């Protein structure tokens, strides 16, 4: 089951990975310290496929890409939040950590619930309560980054360094969710 | 037109609107010793051999440098090797390095109308000079270094005006902490935050840099102030770095006005409708401010927290480690002694600032007062080193974030303030206002 780890509003990147561990870029090591200052049970208890759920402005603060890297390496399959801080959003998309923006859903999801996301259908389901929500899809350019496997593979393709001609557009500031 | 719309319209060669996507040439890419180690492997995966233009890449080893431990030493060495391999002329290391967001404007890298990105969230600092600058992650920075181009979604603009004359000891830090207390840590999420008004016109470049630096703490994409005489005087005082000027011509601009009354907020308020909101504050009513733990938006007047005992004071960082900040601190610390229960750590943000502080007798005044003065580093601001807090300890810091665990143990506490409040607090051993001592 995809167990939920529930956090509040304004979860900052220092909470996700404290800066004292930014002396390494080793993903497994970062994962061992994920949420260390705000939830001492997370790193030991998280299982592959688990889900992190926050409120508004998730990932605010520092630009450290170590934050989504730590979440991904900890086995988090996706994050659900009411909305995201912009640099965290970009970083997550760029490295292939799926994010779900579901302001209507977060109030109904509790720690320990079993939550799944069908990305093709855009449906978020809380299997514990039986509720489900349709999630607004990301714009096409952003979906393209995800489909390409992240910003680096997309850039390679666009520069003609992989698989022939430049294909489509995408990248950069794709993640600006609010006014899409 | 809002300043950010103006910059992107000029760059895109057409009028752009909020929400629109543009891919544009960027003028400068910045990274540091903790973000470039993630960028380099990504850069190598792209498959290009060289960065798009070595003069438009700036690397600064400033966060955990001088190396705090073996792991940090390895990361700094990685940045050093990359700079050498790529032939980057603008690589700053121990001896020449300073805290990046103090260093780049000081060293003539920034000019109005620029579009730049940096793998550090406080890259938004440079808007003080009328540039568009924003923080990105390491993968974005790697792609920017390889291609010299980047996609942006044009942000809506929020204008925050400070009208009237500021009280004594009140500066840019107090203004931005006040705005944070009113608008919250997501009050400008994804937006461009534009600072204007009589009190901003009267504010020094140092104060403007402080304000734009903390735009990200409101969730903003960038902070920006219109170019004016203060900007031009600042630019005239320094040698410009060749090869980093904006890649499109940028003549001086005048700013759009709006007619919102002091104390009011209004949506869609600009004359041409290009602002999503305008907030107007009375600068003359703003007191020396403190942001209590654990959010920068937890603002209060310093005078209301005088019962709060402290263990440490840090004066420095990309927010408030500039010469003017040290001058303000020295006005309070000179001839006085740091409280016996307080460790006071002062970190001039760049070698030039350090030297000027020495020439002006500030360093001597700090040492005479019992403060420790350090070589430039970001160190304590992010709990790296040079002032990490023990369990339950409290620090008044002129830095930018007071999140849980930011400067050390998860039960430690950070109170954010400007240099005047920080220096006064160092003397009295508790949160204090400058009027109490000076």
The per-residue pLDDT for B381 is 98
**3-state SS record for B278-301:** EEEEEHHHCCCEEECCCCCCCEEE
Q: Mean pLDDT across the stretch B270-276?
A: 71
The pLDDT > 70 percentage for chain A reads 90
For chain B, positions 221-260, list CB contacts with chain A under 8 A.
221
Q: Residues 6 or more apart from A170 whose CB is under 8 A from it? A: A141, A142, A144, A145, A148, A151, A154, A158, B151
Q: Are strands B265-267 and B222-225 parallel, antiparallel or unpaired?
A: unpaired
Q: Report whether pLDDT(B21) > 50.
A: yes
Q: Report whether pLDDT(B118) > 70.
A: yes
* Residue-wise pLDDT tens digits, A108-128: 999 999 999 998 899 999 999
The verdict on a CB contact (< 8 Å) between B189 and A57 is yes
The per-residue pLDDT for B251 is 73
Q: Mean pLDDT across the stretch A7-13?
A: 98
Confirm or reject contact between B21 and chain A (CB < 8 A).
yes
Q: Residues 6 or more apart from B307 whose CB is under 8 A from it? A: B430, B431
The verdict on a CB contact (< 8 Å) between A19 and B383 is yes
For the A4-150 domain, the top CATH level (class) is alpha beta
Q: Are strands B265-267 and B275-282 parallel, antiparallel or unpaired?
A: antiparallel
**Between the CA of residue A85 and those of A10, A35, A52, B121, B185, what are the distances in Å?**
9, 17, 15, 11, 10
Joined together, the tokens standing for residue B10 give 């000029």
Joined together, the tokens standing for residue B12 give 């895109």
The per-residue pLDDT for A133 is 98
Tell me the chain B residues in contact with residue A69 when contact means C-beta distances shorter than 8 Å: 38
The Cβ-side half-sphere exposure at A63, using a 13 Å CA radius, reads 30
Q: Report whether pLDDT(B258) > 70.
A: no
For chain A, positions 37-66, list CB contacts with chain B under 8 A.
37-38, 56-57, 60-66
Higher pLDDT, B202 or B241: B202
The pLDDT > 90 percentage for chain B reads 91
Contact between B135 and A63 under an 8 Å Cβ cutoff? The reply is yes
Contact between B63 and B382 under an 8 Å Cβ cutoff? The reply is yes
The per-residue pLDDT for B270 is 53
- Among candidates B46, B135, B185 on the partner chain, residue whose Cβ is nearest the Cβ of A63: B135
Tell me the chain B residues in contact with residue A57 when contact means C-beta distances shorter than 8 Å: 185-186, 189, 219
* Residue-wise pLDDT tens digits, B160-208: 999 999 999 999 999 999 999 999 999 999 999 999 999 999 999 999 9
Q: Mean pLDDT across the stretch B338-351?
A: 98
Tally Cβ neighbours within 10 Å of residue B42: 24
The per-residue pLDDT for B245 is 87
The per-residue pLDDT for B298 is 98
Q: Mean pLDDT across the stretch B395-420?
A: 98
| Structure-token match 């204007």, residue found | B196
Q: Report whether pLDDT(B255) > 50.
A: yes
Confirm or reject contact between A15 and chain B (CB < 8 A).
yes
Q: Report whether pLDDT(B318) > 50.
A: yes
Picking from B403, B408, B412, B414 by the largest number of A CB atoms within 10 A of its own CB, the best residue to mutate is B403
The per-residue pLDDT for A147 is 84
- Among candidates B34, B121, B151 on the partner chain, residue whose Cβ is nearest the Cβ of A61: B121
Q: Mean pLDDT across the stretch A8-25?
A: 97
- Among candidates A12, A63, A170 on the partner chain, residue whose Cβ is nearest the Cβ of B137: A63
Contact between B62 and B151 under an 8 Å Cβ cutoff? The reply is no
Q: Mean pLDDT across the stretch B210-237?
A: 96
Residues making up chain B, counted from first to last: 438
Please provide the average confidence, as pLDDT, over all residues in chain A. 90
Confirm or reject contact between A14 and chain B (CB < 8 A).
yes
Joined together, the tokens standing for residue B161 give 């005006």
The per-residue pLDDT for A124 is 98
Q: How confident is the model at residue B267 (pLDDT cuts 50, 70, 90)?
A: low
Closest residue by Cα to residue B371 from B314, B293, B300: B314
The per-residue pLDDT for B257 is 62
Beta bridge partners of A118: A123
Q: Mean pLDDT across the stretch B212-240?
A: 94
Q: Report whether pLDDT(B347) > 60.
A: yes
Q: How confident is the model at residue A175 (pLDDT cuts 50, 70, 90)?
A: very low
Q: Is the dihedral of CA A6, A7, A13, A16 positive or negative?
A: negative
The per-residue pLDDT for B274 is 77
Tell me the chain A residues in contact with residue B37 when contact means C-beta distances shorter than 8 Å: 25
Q: How far apart are CA B29 and CA B438, in angstroms?
A: 43
The per-residue pLDDT for B271 is 54
Q: Report whether pLDDT(A174) > 70.
A: no
Q: How confident is the model at residue B273 (pLDDT cuts 50, 70, 90)?
A: low
The verdict on a CB contact (< 8 Å) between B46 and A57 is no
Q: Report whether pLDDT(A169) > 70.
A: no
Contact between B19 and B153 under an 8 Å Cβ cutoff? The reply is yes
CA distance A127 to chain B (A): 31
Higher pLDDT, B258 or B107: B107
The pLDDT > 70 percentage for chain B reads 97
Under DSSP, the state recorded for B304 is G
The per-residue pLDDT for A172 is 41
Q: Domains in chain B, start-ordered, CATH in brackets?
A: 3-281 (3.30.499.10), 290-436 (3.30.499.10)
For chain A, positions 129-158, list CB contacts with chain B under 8 A.
141, 150-152, 155-156
Please provide the average confidence, as pLDDT, over all residues in chain B. 95
CA distance A116 to chain B (A): 28
Tally Cβ neighbours within 10 Å of residue A161: 16
Question: What ranges in B308-431 are assigned the alpha helix state H?
Answer: 317-320, 323-333, 351-359, 362-369, 419-428
């Amino acid at each position: 089951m995809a167990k939920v780890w529930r956090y509040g509003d304004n979860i900052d990147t220092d909470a996700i990975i404290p800066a004292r561990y930014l002396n390494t870029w080793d993903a497994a090591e970062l994962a061992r310290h994920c949420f260390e200052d705000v939830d001492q049970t997370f790193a030991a208890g998280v299982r592959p496929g688990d889900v992190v759920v926050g409120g508004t402005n998730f990932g605010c603060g520092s630009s450290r890409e170590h934050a989504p890297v730590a979440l991904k390496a900890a086995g988090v399959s996706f994050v659900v939040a009411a909305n995201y801080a912009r640099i965290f959003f970009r970083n997550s998309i760029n490295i292939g950590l799926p994010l779900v923006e579901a302001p209507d859903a977060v109030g109904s999801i509790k720690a320990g619930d079993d939550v799944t996301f069908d990305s093709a259908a855009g449906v978020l389901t809380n299997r514990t309560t039986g509720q489900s929500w349709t999630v607004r899809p990301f714009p096409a350019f952003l979906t393209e980054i995800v489909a390409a496997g992240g910003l680096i593979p997309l850039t390679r393709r666009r520069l003609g360094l992989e698989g022939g001609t430049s294909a489509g557009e995408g990248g950069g500031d794709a993640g600006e969710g609010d006014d899409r | 037109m809002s300043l950010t719309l103006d910059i992107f319209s000029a760059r895109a060669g057409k009028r752009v609107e909020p929400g629109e996507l543009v891919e544009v040439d960027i003028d400068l890419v910045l990274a540091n010793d903790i973000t470039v180690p993630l960028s380099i492997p990504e850069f190598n995966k792209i498959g290009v051999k060289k960065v798009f233009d070595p003069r438009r890449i700036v690397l600064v080893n400033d966060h955990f440098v001088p190396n705090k431990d073996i792991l940090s030493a390895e990361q700094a060495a990685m940045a050093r090797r990359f700079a050498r391999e790529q032939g980057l002329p603008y690589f700053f290391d121990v001896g020449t390095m300073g805290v990046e967001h103090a260093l780049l404007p000081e060293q003539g890298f920034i000019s109005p109308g620029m579009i730049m990105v940096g793998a550090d969230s406080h890259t938004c600092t440079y808007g003080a000079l009328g540039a568009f600058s924003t923080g990105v992650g390491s993968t974005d920075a790697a792609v920017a270094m390889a291609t010299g181009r980047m996609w942006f979604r044009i942000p809506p603009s929020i204008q925050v005006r400070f009208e009237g004359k500021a009280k004594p000891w009140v500066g840019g830090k107090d203004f931005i902490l006040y705005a944070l207390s009113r608008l919250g840590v997501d009050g400008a999420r994804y937006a461009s935050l534009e600072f204007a008004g009589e009190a901003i016109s009267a504010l020094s470049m140092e104060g403007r840099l402080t304000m734009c630096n903390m735009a990200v703490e409101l969730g903003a994409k960038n902070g920006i102030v219109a170019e004016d005489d203060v900007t031009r005087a600042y630019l005239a005082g320094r040698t410009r770095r060749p090869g980093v000027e904006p890649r499109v011509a940028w003549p001086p601009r005048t700013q759009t006005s709006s007619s919102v009354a002091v104390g009011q907020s209004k949506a869609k308020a600009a004359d041409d409708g290009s602002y999503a909101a305008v907030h107007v504050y009375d600068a003359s009513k703003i007191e020396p401010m403190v942001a209590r733990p654990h959010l920068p938006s937890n603002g209060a007047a310093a005078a209301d927290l005088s019962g709060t005992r402290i263990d440490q004071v840090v004066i420095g960082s990309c927010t408030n480690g500039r010469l003017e900040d040290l001058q303000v601190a020295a006005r309070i610390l000179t001839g006085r002694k740091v409280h016996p229960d307080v460790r006071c750590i002062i970190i001039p943000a760049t070698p030039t600032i350090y030297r000027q502080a020495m020439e002006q007798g500030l360093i001597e005044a700090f040492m005479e007062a019992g403060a420790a003065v350090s070589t430039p580093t970001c160190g304590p601001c992010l709990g790296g080193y040079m002032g990490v807090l023990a369990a339950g300890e409290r620090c008044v810091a002129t830095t930018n974030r007071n999140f849980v665990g930011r400067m050390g143990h998860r039960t430690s506490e950070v109170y954010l303030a400007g240099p005047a409040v920080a220096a006064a607090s160092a003397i009295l051993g508790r949160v204090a206002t400058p009027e109490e001592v000076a």
